Structure formats: structure tokens, C-alpha cells
Structure 1
Amino acid sequence: MSAPHTDVEQVEAANTAFYEALERGDFEELSSLWLTPADLGIDETYHDPADAGVISCVHPGWPVLTGRGEVLRSYALIMANTDYIQFFLTDVHVSVTGDTALVNCTENILSGGPAPDGDGELGPLVGQLVVATNVFRRTPDGWKLWSHHASPVLAENDEAEDDDTPS
């Protein structure tokens, strides 16, 4: 595949890199994909990095996490407690305005932990459907995540419309 040329292609590549790093459990790579104060030209000597260019993340069912420390700690915990995770992204839509990009997608997630008998085998895989919004900022080093917000899909629209419950 050739190198991405347009902003949309570059954002798609950054979005894919985020999910691939998470699948591999590559914490260093995942960390490098998130916005830093230095990416915004902020001197951390004079500004609290937690307040500068604050990144945020909402995992399904979690409260909002803000700042690099909280966000990256959450991913370290997820990686430490998940033996297997794979994302199949569908309904991916990218929009770019200036130095900001928005990616909306559906995360079709397969994950698993250790087997219940502790024999080192992977336990049963669990599927989860999640909708996500990823916000990216352009930096001198390329597009980096500014915010990730994911929410579980509890019911399909078709099922809700077929409900016989009176309104």
C-alpha cells in the first residue's frame, strides 16, 4: 500500500494505528499516538502538562478520564487485564476541518481473558458492539489523538422499532 497523501487518508491511518497498537498490547506505540503538550508547542517547564492540551477518554461504562496520566493509565490497565482483543471497525466516517479531524466508527470487539481453569489457555471470546468517536489534532509529527469516546450499543434500531410495547 502506498503512503497516505490526503488528510483523510492520514487520519484513517492514525485511527488504524491506534486500534492496532491496542490489539498488540503495544503501550509505547499507543502512548506515542496521543497528543502531548510538546505537540502543541507548550513548554512543560512553565505549564502543568495535565492542563495543557488536555486529552480525554471515555471507555464504555467508565467516567470521563482527562490528562495523559489518567488516560494512559487506563490503557495500561486494560492491556494488563486483557489477554486477547481484536477490533473490526465498520461504519468508519472521517471528516477533517483545518487541524482537527473527527472519526466516527463502530467497534466490533472480540476479547477474552484467561480460561476459568487457569491452564494458560484463552477463555471464551466475548463480542461487544461499541460506537466510538475519535478526535485527532494535526501536529508536526502527524495526526494524534486528542479524545476517544466509546459507548456500548445496547439495542439495534430495528429491534427497538419491532417492540410491541405501547408508547
Structure 2
Amino acid sequence: MPKTHLQAVLMATPDETEAQFYEALQHGDLERMMAVWLDDDEAACCIHPGSGRLSGKRAIRAAYEQLFSQGQGIDVRPMSVQRVTLPGGGTVLHHVVERVQVNTAEGPRLIWVLATHLYLKTPEGWRLMVHHASPGSGREHHEGGEAPSTLH
């Protein structure tokens, strides 16, 4: 059984899909990353911090392929997740505060990212339909791991 098929079977909840997303990022695993995405060129959308909108699975794949081209993953960890199940139960929204560690010439540096994930229940399990990330300030993360209750 191919690895991507095994990973697809394991995504029975939005939380499991999100865990696969972050594991794929951390390991630089392109096939695992693409297994979490909705296979729909009109609905699938990805926006990385500071870049434009990627529409469709081919464009999303190309972006992650470039991101992982250095042969390593990205040290990104979800620190706080707020979950919202939309009416009907087949769509779930996650607001995530991510902690990203990057290595610079001066040493490791922490970056905070705010991400929104939209998950859709499909016959194959839960899939990521939208990943929209933007730079955060670090104020979003508190010792208790909770995001602030206001946006402004």
C-alpha cells in the first residue's frame, strides 16, 4: 500500500488532517502534504505569508515542491487552535497560531504565523480546502496557549 494512501485513510477528523499537514511540513514530505489537500482545482486555495493566492492542487503542489526543494522540512508547530464547526457539520474552520523556528546566520529565530484552515468532509475523509497564513506578532501566543479574544 503506497504511503499516501495510508495517510489518506488516517484522516477521519479535521484534527487528524491538521496533524498530517504539520507532520508533512516538519518532514518536508511532499506526498504526505498533497494527501491532505482537497482534490479540486476550483476550491483548493493556499496563501503563504507574503505571497499571492495559489488556486488548485497543481499550483499548491508546485509551491510546496519549491518550499521542500532544500531537502528539509520546516520547524512549524501549532501552538493554539480555535475550532469552529460550521452548520451542517461537513465543514470545519481552524484558527491557528503557529510557532516557526528558522535558522539564520545569527542562530535560531522564532517567527509567529496566524493561519486559517478550512476542512471539508469528503467521501475519502477530511481534506484541507484552504490554508491562509499571514505574519503574526507573537502577541497572539500566551503562556496558556490561548489566542486573544479580539482581533484589533
Answering whether residue 36 of structure 2 is matched by residue 14 of structure 1, we say: no
Answering whether residue 134 of structure 2 is matched by residue 145 of structure 1, we say: no
Flag as ranges the 4+ runs of structure 1 deviating above 6 A. none
Map of 1:78-157 to 2, 5 A cutoff?
Answer: 78-81=67-70, 83-97=72-86, 98-112=89-103, 124-154=107-137, 156=139
Q: Give TM-score, length-normalised by structure 2.
A: 0.74
Of the two, which has the highest radius of gyration? 1
Q: Give TM-score, length-normalised by structure 1.
A: 0.68
What CA RMSD, in Å, does the superposition of the two structures yield over aligned residues?
A: 2.2
Aligned length: 127
| Cα distance in 1 between the residues matched to 2:138 and 2:75 | 22
Structure 2: state its 5+ residue gaps.
Answer: 1-11, 141-152
String of CA shifts for 1:96-141, please: whole Å, max 9, x gaps: 222111011101011338xx7xxxxxx9433210000000100112
Percent identity of paired positions between Structure 1 and Structure 2: 28
Structure 1: state its 5+ residue gaps.
Answer: 1-8, 38-49, 117-122, 158-167
**Secondary structure of the corresponding residue to residue 80 of structure 1:** coil
Structure that is richer in strand per residue: 2
String of CA shifts for 1:132-160, please: whole Å, max 9, x gaps: 00001001121100000000014638xxx
